[in-house]
Every structure is written in structure tokens, then in C-alpha cells.
Amino acid sequence: AFQYSLNRTLLRFFVLKGPILLSLRRQSSVSYAQSLAGAPETRLTALDNGLRVASEETGHATCTVGLWIGAGSRYESEKNNGAGFFLEHMAFKGTKKHPQTALEQEVESMGAHLSAYTSREHTAYYMKTLAKDLPKAVELLSEVVQHCSLNEADVEQQRAVVLRELEEVEGNLQEVCLDLLHATAFQGTPLSYSVLGTLSRQDLVEYLGSHYKAPRMVLSAAGGVNHEELVGLAKTHFSGLSFEYEGDAIPVLSPCRFTGSEIRMRDDAMPLAHVAIAVEGARVGSPDIVPLMVANSIIGSYDIKSGGGKNMSSRLAAMAAEENFCESFQAFHSSYSDTGLMGMYFVTDMHHIEDMMHWSQNAWMNMCTTVTDSDVARGKKSLKASLVAQLNGTTPICDDIGRHVLNYGRRVPLAEWDARINAVTPKMVRDVCSKYIYDKCPAVAAVGPVEQLPDYNRTRASMYWLRF
């Protein structure tokens, strides 16, 4: 869920070649808002079994098509934690109709790219291919999802691969730190589980039977696609998907409570400390989402390798650059179905941990008290650029459609986001940030040489007294 909240640069915004930006170039006399309103329509159709089919025709010679499923580590238990991630890996080991070699040859012969990912609430299987090969792509995806081969030999072989990947992930300290943040912030609830894990064949079969149901799936496509053709392909290949649960045992998500707390993994041999601090954020669909997104855009991000220095518009970034407080930082907001995490992640040496904690919390307090018209205007422009930049190509558009339909029941168009962003005022930012940040208990996760990380009680107190 974190990767979708990172801020993108304005430079990338101006070099995009997507339909929205091409429209802006061709119609220089048309306003930005009018160009967004003229963006391709996202069409949505529901099959009799509850499967939803959504597409956006952009006129590309290529397309991306995939299945987005409302299942992930949030739907797992301690016993089967990691089932979704393991199934993602098993998907490419062949199906009942196409053994692994045959599946790989089919994909290769199309010049296509088949991939998948698992997050805390979503799983996706998708393929990027030539538009003319859409029927074959949908057929292969239906095989991968509905008829994945789960023989014992393949499961055991893949277990070794997953274990190696787990070792590699342990070397990505940003992922480690953010997993720890979820573990402490949502302790005792399914949102604390990592996506990663290894399981038995029986665990995988039970997970498939419990969660891979038609009403929780979206067949999404973007690019050179015809919606009627896509609906016809969905009826051919996915009409047999079950919409019933054994014994009416429909999985219901248990509520996830946020716990202000701290977790540290101290290792003084590491050169840099990785620290994340967060408060409970807004859930998906909350009206508070957009003001919080604007606030995060105002705080911004910084990387010592990217330049900018003290002339950066973000006050925290300018201070970090001028005083050498950190190697990098980024504000983030991860939203889930009933809760969220709003926070900051930074990387610094052991001598500046306290400085970064102080000024990060100070930036939050500024959002609650002193944010100005110019701050909000800048944050709005940065956020709009980020939203457009994320839709560079058919694959991110397809992903956006799939996640939106699962989260909101529809694709929220950019024109609507633009209108909601324009409606944000400095008072809205101050009020919403006060609601989520001021005098709240934060969750803190830290990895590395973190001896100088302030005591948690002191960090907690700063959520109050830094306002004055």
C-alpha cells in the first residue's frame, strides 16, 4: 500500500506521453481542468456472478489486463500468514492446462509481460501485451487464477525460492522498517502481518477456496481495449467463478485498532538509522483523505542525491539539506478499508536522529497551526502533478482502475480528484491535521544505530507541546 503514496517530481509530470498530457499539448488553449474532464471514460460492467469488468480505452497499440482481488495479508491468520504471497509465486509455475514450460512459451510468443503483486488488502495478476493479443491474455490469466497447479513438488520447490526472497527483503531496510511500523501500530490485529511467508499446500487450497470469489474480483484493462469485447471474454472465461461460500461462511474483516507504541531493532554496526513515525490516518473513502494528501505534499520529500538544497519549497526539506539532518525523508499516507497510517520515514546517521524526530514532528504541528495560503497552493500543485504522473502508461492506469473499483466501487476520475483538491483551504488542512495529529499517540519503528532515538514518552509529549 506505501508505494502508491510517494510523491513524484514535477519534472516527470512534464515528460509524460499519456493521453491526458498529449491532450494538454494539443489543446494549449484548453484549461488543465477541461483536459482532465475530456480524459477517456472508465466503463464498468458487472457479470451475473458478481465479477466486475472495468476498462479505459486509450488508443494505445498495447494494453494491460489483469485481475484485482480483494484479498491479502489482512485476510490471513497467524496460521496461514503469507498465503497470498505464496500463491502469487505459485501462479507462474503452471496451470492444469499449461505446465510451466508451456505457460512461459505462450507468454514469450506474445512478447508479453506477466506479473503479480500482493499487498495487505489486495492481490493482482496482470499482463501487458499487444492490444491484438487481449483474448489470449485473458485466457491465460483465467488459467493462472482459477486453475493454478498446486502439486506438492512445486510447492516444496517454490518454498526454497520464497525463503531466498525473504532473505533479500531483509536487506531492504525501508521495507523492514515499514513492516515493523505496521507490526507495532496494529499489534494483535491482521494488519500487523507481513505480506511475506511460506505455507503448506493445504493452507493454499483453503485460502483459495475462502477468498478467490467472483464478487471480490475486478477484471481491469487499459490501452487498446474494447469494453464490449472485454466483457465477452470475461463471460467466456470467468462465468464459472464461484460466488458462494461454503456454509455461508463469508469472511468478515475483524476491526484493526491502532496502538501508539514503539519498536526498535538496534544494530550499531549499521552506518545509518532508518526511522518511521506515524499516527492513525484516514480510511479509504474518508472525506479527510484529500486534505491529508495536501498536507503530505506540503511537507514533501527529500533525497540528498537529488539536489535542490536550501532553495527547496518544503521547509523541512530545505532545513534537512542546509543542516545535513538526513540522507532522505518522505511523508506518506497508507489507507486501508477501515483505518490508515499517516507518517514520515527518514534515513539519517546516529547523530541526527533526535534532530530529525524533532523537526518532523514540528512540521506536523505546523500543519495544525500555521499553514498558509501559499503553502496550500504549492501543496495542491504538487499533489495534482503526482496524481497525473502516477498514470504514465497502461499498467499504472490498469492498476488504478482495479484498486479503485475494489475500494470505491467505481473509478474515481482525475477531474473529480482535481475538484476535491481545489476545494481544500488552509483551515481545512489545519482542522483535519489537528484531528489526526495533535495530542495523538504515535507509532514509532526504528532500525540501525538508534541509541539516540528519543524515549517514547518524550516523543509522545512532543505531539502536544510542540504546538505552543
Q: Active-site positions? A: 88
The grid cell for 218 is: 475486478
- Cα radius of gyration rounded to whole Å, the chain: 23
Residue of 234, 238, 222 whose CA lies nearest to 396: 222
Cβ-Cβ contacts under 8 Å for 14 (sequence gap 6 or more) = none
The grid cell for 302 is: 527529500
The grid cell for 104 is: 512461459
Contact criterion met (CB below 8 Å) for 347 and 276: no
Give the integer Cα–Cα distance in Å for 183 and 192.
4
Residue of 296, 298, 304 whose CA lies nearest to 328: 304
- What is the signed CA dihedral for 132, 137, 138, 143, rounded to 10 degrees? 160
**Between vectors from CA 334 to CA 332 and to CA 374, what angle results, nearest 5°?**
40
Ramachandran region, residue 111 (left: φ > 0; alpha: ψ -120 to 50; beta: rest): left
356 sits in which H/E element: helix 353-369
What are the CA-CA distances from residue 226 to residues 28, 214, 222, 421 (Å)? 29, 22, 9, 31
| 362, burial (CB in 10 Å: exposed 0-12, middle 13-18, buried 19+) | middle
Give the integer Cα–Cα distance in Å for 367 and 437.
9
Which amino acid is located at 170 in the chain?
E
Phi, psi of 274 (to 5 degrees): -115, 120
Q: What's the farthest any 2 CA atoms get from each other in the chain? A: 67
352 sits in which H/E element: none
What are the CA-CA distances from residue 80 to residues 69, 71, 85, 119, 353 (Å)? 18, 13, 11, 15, 37
Contact criterion met (CB below 8 Å) for 39 and 32: no
What strands lie across the sheet with 340-348, from one edge to the other? 261-266, 443-448, 273-280, 340-348, 328-335, 301-303
Task: Write down the number of H helices and E strands in the chain.
Answer: 18, 12
